[in-house]
Structure 1
Amino acid sequence: MTVFDFTGRTAIVTGASRGIGFAVAEAIVSGGGNVVVTSRSQESADAAANRLGSAAVGVGAHAVDEEAARLCIELTLDCFGSIDVLVNNAGTNPAFGQVIDQDHARFAKTFDVNLWAPVLWTSLAAKAWMLENGGAVVNTASLGGIGFEENIGIYNATKAALIHLTKQLALELSPRVRVNAVAPGVVRTKLAEALWKDHEQERTNMIALTRLGEPDDVASAVAFLASDAARWITGEIMSVDGGQLLGDPRPFRPGACAEA
């Protein structure tokens, strides 16, 4: 993983007990920063923080719980004195299946976690620190937010909205706060298991770089956007997909006919 400099800086990463969120927290710590990792349970947040070492603190905070989010913001300032980076990574997808088969409860939960939570946490971090002192926000969107795929239509709709929201927030919070997003393709995480677990080879055949993404692949992109290396970048959506958007690369490879 490429290491970016976060010396003297503090990040909050939501949904960071595993997967992409944990890899992002690792990247921040590796770059010399402090990190507050959140998870729905205090136990899992503490476990993640213990794995990261003394530069990390775990906070049990469901992403849509406004009071828990406020307490996390206050604790971060009390412990470390700043909130320089916010990574809105928490996500969910209880609405798996066709759009017309979803009920309101699953629809609402998906939008609450994937869209409202980034608004909530960004608002709190901006008002508590970033608008006055500067900062960077990175949202975890999805390649699905710029495309279409069977069975995850509601999830993709939330990510499409998050992409738009990222650009809107980048405009509203400039020039003190930069707001960007990553749009991962299929990454080997628990949340995305339904997209690859039983047909991994079929999936990798459709990716130019011929493998699924790993959490570290996305974390490096997030760390870049959160760092000073991206100091003149805001309102951008970085696809991190191994070339998935390019389509099936096999017809362009030598010996492709023999492979088929």
Structure 2
Amino acid sequence: MTEQASRDAQNHLGKRFSGQVALITGASRGIGLGIAKRLQAEGAAVVLTARKPEALAEAVAQFPDGTALAIAGKSDNPEHRAEVFDTIAEKFGRLDVLVTNVGINPVYGPLIDIDLDAARKILDVNVIGTLAWVQEAVHHEKLGFRENKGRVVSISSVAGQVPSPGISFYGISKAAVSHLTKSLAVELGPDIRVNAVAPAVVKTNFATALYEGKEEEVASVYPAKRLGTPEDIAGAVAYLASSDADWITAQVLTADGGVITAGGNA
């Protein structure tokens, strides 16, 4: 979807999230920012988190005044998570949608050579961090996440579905996120729905190494003949978080332009 097409679509959106509050982690740019923009366009007040205050400030400046709040900090820091939820409780008194988008991949290469400390860090941020955000949203006494029929949408990856050379351990962590999604959905139903979106290559800074200088070649194996955009993933997340998906939980929606079915990988 082009940026203009995305804007045109948003101009015709209903307000499925009017009166609701959505928290999106890792939202200073890329997929997270795209999701925040889509949810806000559909009526939500959005809270954005990321590590760097400057980047978050630039992101929030792209929203209409008073519709977005930024809270900077490291996703795997318990004190940061507590600050986020306490601030949401104080300012809004509720939380309706939690999008866990933070993910890291600091290594590239074969599994047999991966630095084990780096592997532990990937699991800590991508898997344990995802679980921690959900735990704290559910347990916070002033957010009413369960009472509000809260919705969780996590960002997984097609790298968690098929072996993807060079980013295999990242894929392992995302396979865990997908299974975590299903397990949480079973435990938290019927009050809270939990789903995930598993993208293939999306044109963001995070994925630049996978397509920079060879985008046409990479996209050629996709039946859709193009790579994804943040807006593509935002649309999928908005659907899963909306009342249109009230009977959908424990699902991992593959958003990959058809590449996995066609025999490709991430």
Deviation sequence 1:209-259 (CA, Å, 0-9, x none): 10000110000000100111111100000001111122279xxxxxxxxxx
Structure-2 residue corresponding to 1:111: 123
**SS of residue paired to 1:94:** coil
Deviation sequence 1:137-188 (CA, Å, 0-9, x none): 0000001111111100100000001100000000111111000000001110
* Mapped partners of 2:114, 2:204: distance in 1: 24
Tell me the TM-score normalised to structure 1 length. 0.92
Q: Do the aligned partners of residues 162 and 248 (structure 1) sit closer, same or farther apart at CA in structure 2, a change above 3 Å counting?
A: closer
Structure-2 residue corresponding to 1:203: 218
Deviation at 1:26, TM superposition (A): 0.2
Structure-1 residue corresponding to 2:36: 25
**SS of residue paired to 1:132:** coil
Mapping 1:29-108, distance limit 5 Å: 29-53=40-64, 54-108=66-120
Tell me the TM-score normalised to structure 2 length. 0.90
**SS of residue paired to 1:191:** helix
**SS of residue paired to 1:133:** coil
Amino acid corresponding to residue 80 of structure 1 in structure 2 = F
Mapping 1:1-260, distance limit 5 Å: 1=6, 3=13, 5-53=16-64, 54-128=66-140, 129-247=144-262
Amino acid corresponding to residue 34 of structure 2 in structure 1 = A
Unaligned runs of 5+ in 2: 1-5
Single out whichever of 126-135 and 237-246 deviates more from structure 2. Answer: 126-135
Amino acid corresponding to residue 161 of structure 1 in structure 2 = A
* Mapped partners of 1:248, 1:200: distance in 2: 18
Is the 8 Å Cα contact of residues 183 and 239 (structure 1) preserved in structure 2? yes
Unaligned runs of 5+ in 1: 250-260
Is the 8 Å Cα contact of residues 205 and 248 (structure 1) preserved in structure 2? no
* Mapped partners of 2:34, 2:219: distance in 1: 22
* Mapped partners of 1:80, 1:147: distance in 2: 41
Deviation at 1:202, TM superposition (A): 1.7
Which structure has the bigger radius of gyration?
A: 1
Amino acid corresponding to residue 25 of structure 2 in structure 1 = T
Q: How big is the alpha-carbon RMSD for the aligned residues of Structure 1 and Structure 2?
A: 1.4
Amino acid corresponding to residue 130 of structure 2 in structure 1 = P
Q: Percent identity?
A: 39
Aligned residues: 249
* Mapped partners of 1:130, 1:96: distance in 2: 38
